[in-house]
Amino acid sequence: MRFGCNCAFVPESVLDLFATDETLSKVSRVAFYNTLHHSKAWRAERISLAPAARHAKSKPKTPVTPLRPNVLVFDCRESSSQPGDQIIVSELGAPRAARRVAKNMAMVNEFYGSIFARNSIDNNGMGLISSIRYGRNYCNAFWSGTQMIFGEGDGEIFLDFAGSEDVLAHEFAHAVTQYTIGLGFWGEAGAINESISDIFSAVYRQWQKRQTCEQADWMIGSDIVGPTARQRGFHCLRNLSRALPTNCISEQPKHYSDYDERGDPHINGGIPSFAFYHAAMLIGGNTWDQIAPVWYNALTTSQRRPNMNFREFAYLTITRAAALFPAIKRVAKAVEQGWKEVGVI
What CATH number did the domain enclosing 277 receive?
Answer: 1.10.390.10
User: pLDDT for 50-70, tens place per residue?
Assistant: 454 444 444 444 444 456 799
The domain that contains 163 carries what CATH number? 3.10.170.10
From the list 277, 334, 344, 46, the residue with the least C-alpha distance to 177 is 46
Regarding whether 242 and 122 lie in a shared domain, the answer is no
Distance in angstroms (rounded) separating the CA atoms of residues 222 and 182: 28
In-domain check, residue 145: yes
From the list 283, 279, 278, 324, the residue with the least C-alpha distance to 301 is 324
Regarding whether 231 and 165 lie in a shared domain, the answer is no
In-domain check, residue 316: yes
Regarding whether 155 and 86 lie in a shared domain, the answer is yes
pLDDT in tens, the chain (345 residues): 444 446 789 999 999 999 999 999 999 999 999 999 886 655 555 555 545 444 444 444 444 445 679 999 999 999 999 999 999 999 888 999 999 999 999 999 999 999 999 999 999 999 999 999 999 999 999 999 999 999 999 999 999 999 999 999 999 999 999 999 999 888 999 999 999 999 999 999 999 999 999 999 999 999 999 999 999 999 999 999 986 667 999 999 999 999 999 999 999 999 999 999 999 999 999 999 999 999 999 999 999 999 999 999 999 999 999 999 999 999 999 999 999 999 999
Regarding whether 320 and 194 lie in a shared domain, the answer is yes
In-domain check, residue 295: yes
Contact assessment for residue 198 and residue 205, using Cβ atoms and an 8 Å cutoff: no
Q: Which of 179, 209, 229 is the last residue of a domain?
A: 179
Regarding whether 71 and 52 lie in a shared domain, the answer is yes
In-domain check, residue 281: yes
Task: Report how far apart, in Å, the C-alpha atoms of 6 and of each of 18, 101, 116, 175, 185 are.
Answer: 18, 21, 25, 12, 7
Regarding whether 199 and 170 lie in a shared domain, the answer is no
Domains in the chain, number: 2
In-domain check, residue 84: yes
Give the residue numbers marked as catalytic.
Answer: 171, 266
Range of the domain at 292: 187-341
Distance in angstroms (rounded) separating the CA atoms of residues 146 and 49: 8
In-domain check, residue 74: yes
Strand order in the sheet with 141-143: 85-87, 71-75, 128-132, 148-150, 141-143
Cβ-count burial of 248 within 10 angstroms (0-12 exposed, 13-18 middle, 19+ buried)? Answer: buried
Q: Which of 149, 179, 209 is the last residue of a domain?
A: 179
Amino acid identity at 187? G
Distance in angstroms (rounded) separating the CA atoms of residues 308 and 126: 27
| All residues at 6 or more sequence positions from 222 whose CB lies less than 8 Å from its CB, including other chains | 166, 235, 236, 237
pLDDT at 1: 42
pLDDT at 4: 44
Distance in angstroms (rounded) separating the CA atoms of residues 257 and 328: 31
Q: Which residues pair with 149 in a beta bridge?
A: 131, 142
Contact assessment for residue 141 and residue 14, using Cβ atoms and an 8 Å cutoff: no
In-domain check, residue 2: no
Distance of CA 302 to the CA centre of its chain: 23
Regarding whether 193 and 129 lie in a shared domain, the answer is no
In-domain check, residue 1: no
Q: Which residues pair with 74 in a beta bridge?
A: 86, 131
CB atoms within 10 A of CB 243: 12
pLDDT at 7: 78
Regarding whether 280 and 167 lie in a shared domain, the answer is no
Distance in angstroms (rounded) separating the CA atoms of residues 143 and 248: 23
pLDDT at 45: 53
Regarding whether 299 and 232 lie in a shared domain, the answer is yes
Q: Which of 157, 179, 201 is the last residue of a domain?
A: 179
Regarding whether 236 and 152 lie in a shared domain, the answer is no
pLDDT at 242: 80
Regarding whether 18 and 164 lie in a shared domain, the answer is yes
Regarding whether 322 and 200 lie in a shared domain, the answer is yes
Contact assessment for residue 166 and residue 190, using Cβ atoms and an 8 Å cutoff: no
Distance in angstroms (rounded) separating the CA atoms of residues 108 and 200: 10
